[in-house]
Amino acid sequence: MELSVLVLLLVVPVSLAKEDMEGKVFVFPKETNTDRVILTHTITKPLKKVSVCLRSYTDLSRPYTTFSLATPGKDNAFFFYLQPPNTFSMHVNQEVTHFKTDSETLDWMHICVTWDSDTGVIQLWVNGKLYPRKVSMKGTSIAPKASIVLGQDQDSIGGGFDSKQSLVGEISDVNMWDSILTSLDVQKALLGQFNGNVINWKSLAYEIKGGVIIQLKTSTSRLI
């Protein structure tokens, strides 16, 4: 019996372990089509309300991806695509919505996006500032069989990466909810005081692929 328990423990995937990532960042060191972080989630039913917040830090001048959620048949089910210096593109179930934002500066950027299927309303906050609301894919839902990847654009579920859309930089404080954040919730997330119930940065299950490394936050980096 004791041997059987030991064998069972040995075959449990490491990716199931959850780690408190507070005070840490993922560093994506170079342009590749391999470096990425795969996030394990708790999605078990179709999503009709979604909120995602994260921080990123990069000096890229070309377009890049931070958050990619793909489902069977929909590689851009919930997808962040940034086009410096001042365009944020949000995809929901393949439909793209563009936001004109303040020009990016070389500093940490905190992004929160919410989408409500009941109304189709998308809300975007950048560093706590709410941009004009837009509408996309009203009445649809995001399938529960989802692949969530940081730092790469999935052109098929779990794959099809393009190095020219990859992130070279850092990501931190990734959280996801199956509800719509209020403005107060976003302010709390900005301060690191509100964590997700689908993906929780303080209890994160993840798998690193390629050359991504984990580093501590440094005293010279502004995160808020």
The answer to whether 143 and 107 are in contact (CB under 8 A) is: no
DSSP type of residue 180 = P
pLDDT value of residue 217: 85
pLDDT value of residue 116: 98
At 20, the amino acid letter reads: D
State if pTM tops 0.85.
yes
DSSP type of residue 77 = E
At 93, the amino acid letter reads: N
Instruction: Return d(Cα 207, Cα 171) in angstroms, integer.
Output: 14
CA 96 from chain center: how many Å?
A: 17
Long-range contacts of 143-147 (CB under 8 A, 24+ apart): 143/46, 143/71, 143/72, 143/74, 143/77, 144/43, 144/44, 144/45, 144/46, 144/47, 145/71, 145/72, 146/41, 146/43, 146/69, 146/70, 146/71, 146/77, 147/38, 147/69, 147/70, 147/71
pLDDT value of residue 104: 87
> At 41, is the pLDDT very low, low, confident or very high (cuts 50, 70, 90)?
very high
Q: Residue 97: pLDDT above 60?
A: yes
Q: Quick one: CATH architecture of 34-216?
A: Sandwich (2.60)
Beta strands in the chain (DSSP E): 24-28, 36-39, 49-57, 64-71, 74-83, 87-92, 95-100, 109-116, 121-126, 129-130, 134-135, 147-150, 169-177, 206-209, 213-216
The answer to whether 51 and 113 are in contact (CB under 8 A) is: yes
pLDDT value of residue 16: 53
Q: Structural domain boundaries of the chain?
A: 34-216
Interval 119-134: pLDDT, tens? 999 999 999 999 999 9
pLDDT value of residue 9: 37
At 28, the amino acid letter reads: F
